[in-house]
């Protein structure tokens, strides 16, 4: 199992508590006429984050630079229509039921083969054609820190997008006074299933709409990666990063080797799973990114065993962001903390199977500072 396994949750953990409220504003309506809202959290340092209950999406995240200037460092849209568009590339969304790719959209579980819609060439990506990023989540609140926490919940029915089991998912976003955005995932199922959850935030620490991310300095605490075939499915090998473009252990500009070699040419840049040295299961530092011009620093901590580093290879300038500027090639990067791609078909990879007597629990932290 891919995260800490605990006893089944107390139903009271999911109960609505209305003692406190969170700043809320209307964001738009879905095609079915459902209202969608933005929930804003703000800490004592002036950091602000806005979360939408459509796709459990991080819409904006405003943090200071070394001079105190505050900018939005998350790619996204001014209104709901951008997120509903077919051109939206999972910007800021919670993705599942299975984040990343499943080869052929097929996997076997307990002797039965399941088929998920193929929405990425011959493979399934991020849960199929209508994954968690395209669902309306219900909103809960908790005491005593509700003013800086939003809790979202989604019930995924047995058979949704081809996955087995009725799945109860709970995601909380908490903003601390230490400039941390803490994301915690909880889930239970009534039937054996596979599960891989992450957030697909695209960062540009110079500010969204500020150009490419090639000068960002990246450190990844990963000594190996999972090379991919022509359709970006892992081959099953764990390859040492030494003497490859995937060696970010000591901090390297993203753009230095981004076009070097067959692996990067296949993906049009970085779109690969890095195997974290800490192995998962406990919250530990996975990555650190520094943007030289602003001095902003992002540290990513996670309980997950892997992180998919994606360099915005499919951004093509066809969408306009909140800044009013187009999101061009490589204008944002993602560090998707998760289990490995295609794990249901890779017995040697850490398992992503969730059983009815288990509880899925995972945490990722985005911590901001300056230098």
The secondary structure of 161-201 as a DSSP string is: GG--S-EEEEEEEEE-TTSEEEEEEEEEESS-EE-B-EE--
- The model's confidence at residue 22, banded by pLDDT at 50, 70 and 90, is low
Residue 204 has pLDDT above 80, yes or no: yes
Structural domains in the chain, CATH included, are: 11-370 (2.70.98.10)
Least confident among 135-149, 164-178, 283-297: 135-149
> How far from 370 is each of 51, 275, 290, 294, CA to CA, in Å?
24, 27, 8, 8
pLDDT, one tens digit per residue, over 95-112 is 999 999 999 999 999 999
Range name among 16-25, 117-126, 323-332 with the lowest pLDDT average = 16-25
Distance separating the N- and C-terminal Cα atoms of the chain: 38
Q: Is a pLDDT exceeding 50 seen at residue 144?
A: no
Question: What was the pLDDT predicted at 4?
Answer: 37
Query: What is the structure's pLDDT at 62?
Result: 98
Q: Which one of 126, 200, 216, 339 is the catalytic residue?
A: 200
200 is an active site residue: yes
Catalytic residue among 161, 216, 336, 339: 336
Tell me what pLDDT residue 23 has.
83
DSSP string, 90-128: -TT-EE-SB-SEEGGGEEEETTEEEE----BTTBEETTS
Mean of all residue pLDDT scores within the chain: 92
Residue-level pLDDT at 330? 97
Distance CA 209, CA 197 (A): 27
The Cα–Cα gap between 45 and 124 comes to 41
In 3D space, the residue among 113, 86, 88, 89 whose CA is nearest the CA of residue 102 turns out to be: 113
Question: Residue range 240-246: average pLDDT?
Answer: 97
């Amino acid at each position: 199992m891919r995260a800490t396994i605990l006893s089944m949750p107390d139903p009271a953990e999911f109960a609505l508590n209305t003692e406190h409220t969170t700043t809320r504003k209307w964001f738009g309506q879905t095609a079915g006429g459902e209202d969608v809202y933005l929930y804003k959290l703000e800490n004592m340092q002036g950091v602000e984050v806005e979360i939408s209950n459509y796709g459990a999406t991080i819409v904006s995240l405003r943090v200071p630079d070394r001079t105190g200037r505050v900018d939005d460092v998350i790619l996204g849209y001014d209104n709901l229509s951008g997120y509903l568009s077919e051109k939206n590339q999972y910007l800021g969304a919670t993705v599942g039921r299975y984040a990343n790719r499943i080869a052929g959209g097929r996997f076997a579980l307990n002797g039965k083969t399941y088929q998920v819609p193929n929405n990425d060439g011959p493979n399934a990506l991020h849960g199929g054609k209508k994954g968690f990023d395209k669902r309306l989540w219900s909103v809960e609140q908790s005491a005593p820190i509700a003013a800086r926490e939003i809790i979202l919940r989604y019930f995924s029915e047995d058979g949704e997008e081809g996955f087995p089991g009725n799945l109860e998912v709970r995601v909380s976003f908490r903003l601390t006074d230490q400039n941390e955005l803490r994301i915690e995932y909880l889930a239970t199922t009534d039937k054996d299933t596979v599960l891989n959850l992450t957030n697909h935030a695209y960062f540009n620490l110079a500010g969204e709409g500020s150009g490419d991310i090639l000068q960002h300095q990246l450190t990844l605490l990963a000594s190996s990666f999972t090379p991919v075939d022509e359709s970006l499915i892992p081959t099953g090998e764990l390859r040492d990063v030494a003497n490859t473009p995937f060696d970010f252990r000591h901090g390297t500009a993203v753009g230095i080797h981004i076009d070097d070699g067959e692996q990067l040419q296949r993906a049009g840049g970085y779109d690969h799973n890095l195997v974290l040295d800490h192995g998962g299961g406990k919250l530990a530092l996975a990555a650190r990114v520094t943007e030289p011009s602003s001095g902003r620093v992002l540290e990513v901590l996670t309980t997950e065993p892997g992180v998919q580093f994606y360099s915005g290879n499919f951004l093509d300038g066809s969408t306009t962001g909140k800044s009013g500027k187009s999101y061009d090639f490589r204008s944002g990067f993602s560090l998707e903390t998760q289990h490995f791609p295609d794990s249901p078909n890779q017995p040697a990879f850490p398992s992503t199977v969730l059983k009815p007597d288990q509880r899925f629990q995972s945490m990722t932290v985005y911590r901001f500072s300056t230098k």
